[in-house]
Amino acid sequence: MYRLLLSDRDKEELQGIQWFISKYSLPITTIETAEDLTSAVDDLENGSPDIVCFELDMVPNDKWEVIKPYIQNFSKQVIAITAEATFERTMQAMDVQAVDVWVKPISPSRVKQALQQALKNITIFSEGENSSSLRHKVSYESLFIEDQQPFPYAVYLLKTEFAADLPHLRKFIDQFDFYHTPSMFSMSDRIVLVFHHEMIESVRQAKRFLREWERTFVSPLTVAVHSQSKEESLHQIYIKLRQVMETTFFTGYKQVLEARQADHVAWKDIDPFLTMEEQRKWVYMLEEGESKEIKTWMYEEFFNLEPPYPEPGLLRTRLTSILAQIRRFMIRNGLDSHECEDSYKKTFDKILYGPVLYRIVQDMFLFCNELIQSTERTGNIKRKDVVESAISYMEEHFTDPAIDLVQVAGHVDLSASYLSHLLSKNYQRSFREMLLSIRLQKAKKLLVSSDESIQNISNSTGFNNPNYFSRVFKKHTGKTPKVYRRSH
């Protein structure tokens, strides 16, 4: 018979767990409770329980390394309890090789399942089975750390499109009728199910799970399945499942994905930034209010992708590059209302964190359309401003030491004198002053963000002579390039 220690600051939670256990036929004869950290440590040290259910949240961050050895050394099996489904709590559970993590509110079936597994583990230990093999099957550690031990059974990785639905998914897993009950490892944005028996129909079971989930919930869910393997470790399987799951960025959720033993997800390398031609295209489409052309461009760019897909992070960078052009359009047209700014920030967040590409693209198009309609309502849609065109050309060609007013004026089909007049009228600055300002701003960025020599920076910003560059830089900033670099 076995001894159990329940450690939780919530007295009602302790009573509830004790009541759950009393309803199950488990070989636990003694149950001790501890409502504070001091009592828990005393009970661990003096009682040496077979199983300890320990609330991680009661340990201050600066005390964890002190308390951890007590949990590890004075109990045979550990079940972690927390109200915070965070990465930090997951790592703490791994530290003590917890059988399971109970995230509050705790379900009765989860209590029963974890305690049965802990008791089974103790029995196997007592029969002399290799402990490393056992822990390989039941701990978080095997998912994150390579142990070179082949894992022969099926593993599922489940992820909802929206992380807020994970508590519902955990409860659904507790109630689902699996062929064999798996060990569940819950993380902040996904859940891993590790099975411990041979299972021929692992994919079929996953499809049945998805069908029943969709009958109950509207939240999109994907199940990635790795069937039985004789060669790969649990860590290798988990890495592969995560890679397979990343393809949902392109294909969406509501599906079962298979990670076969020989499969490897390879990403295609791309240049994520818009070319100069693409930048000019976006300036034209926005300034001319070409909503249909914008839609066609975005759909052709992002909706016709096929494997091997570009790495999702690179595509997010490309979307950000497009958003930068949209931002310039907003500034040029005075679209600075609270509503426009709020929509811009939401679009930016979706690019960074949106789980599915086609939703991000649709939202970006709707945002563009909203801006264009806003400018149409206020009468601000007009032909591209030749002054802005001239400035854009200067920003693109400032590295050329030979660029001059005549060249820029020719680009926008104006005489040099008239372009000079427009620049002075609109910005109260001459052509030379504006070009110098562009070059100095770029030089400042290079001085701060790179280790390039002063001579190289001088050359790359359109100055013929590093000495002349230093004199001009000091005249306008009050510091030499070297002093400016040191002060930043």
Maximal C-alpha separation, the chain: 98
Beta strands in 208-277 (DSSP E): 221-226, 255-258
43 or 123: whose pLDDT is higher? 43
For residue 162, the 8-state DSSP code is S
| Per-residue pLDDT at 17 | 87
Assign a CATH topology to domain 386-487. Arc Repressor Mutant, subunit A (1.10.10)
Is the pLDDT score of 385 beyond 80? no
| Per-residue pLDDT at 204 | 93
Tens of pLDDT, residue by residue over 157-214, are 999 999 889 999 999 998 998 988 899 998 888 999 999 888 888 999 999 999 999 9
Beta strands in 11-143 (DSSP E): 28-34, 51-55, 77-82, 100-103
Q: What angle do CA 438, 325, 451 make, to 5 degrees?
A: 45
| Per-residue pLDDT at 136 | 44
Distance CA 323, CA 321 (A): 5
Q: What are 311's two structure tokens?
A: 């790495």
pLDDT-based confidence at residue 130 (cuts at 50, 70, 90): very low
| Per-residue pLDDT at 264 | 65
| Per-residue pLDDT at 381 | 40
Q: Could you tell me the residue ranges of all domains in the chain?
A: 1-133, 140-265, 276-377, 386-487
pLDDT-based confidence at residue 107 (cuts at 50, 70, 90): confident
CB 143 within 8 A of CB 238: yes
Question: What pTM value is reported for the model?
Answer: 0.54
> Percentage of the chain surpassing pLDDT 70?
94
223 or 331: whose pLDDT is higher? 223
- Edge-to-edge strand order for the sheet containing 2-7? 28-34, 2-7, 51-55, 77-82, 100-103
Q: What is the mean pLDDT of the chain?
A: 88
457: exposed, middle or buried (Cβ count in 10 Å: 0-12, 13-18, 19+): buried
| Per-residue pLDDT at 384 | 45
| Per-residue pLDDT at 94 | 87
| Per-residue pLDDT at 181 | 86
- Edge-to-edge strand order for the sheet containing 221-226? 183-186, 191-194, 155-160, 221-226, 255-258
Stretch 366-388: mean pLDDT: 73
Alpha helices, DSSP H, located in 259-400:
276-287, 291-302, 312-332, 338-353, 357-377, 386-397
Stretch 80-92: mean pLDDT: 89
127 or 308: whose pLDDT is higher? 308
Q: What are 299's two structure tokens?
A: 């759909």
Assign a CATH topology to domain 140-265. Alpha-Beta Plaits (3.30.70)
Tens of pLDDT, residue by residue over 248-290, are 999 999 999 998 755 667 899 999 999 999 999 998 899 888 9
pLDDT-based confidence at residue 109 (cuts at 50, 70, 90): confident
| Per-residue pLDDT at 382 | 43
Regarding the domain with residue range 1-133, which homologous superfamily does it belong to in the CATH classification?
A: Response regulator (3.40.50.2300)
Distance CA 190, CA 169 (A): 9
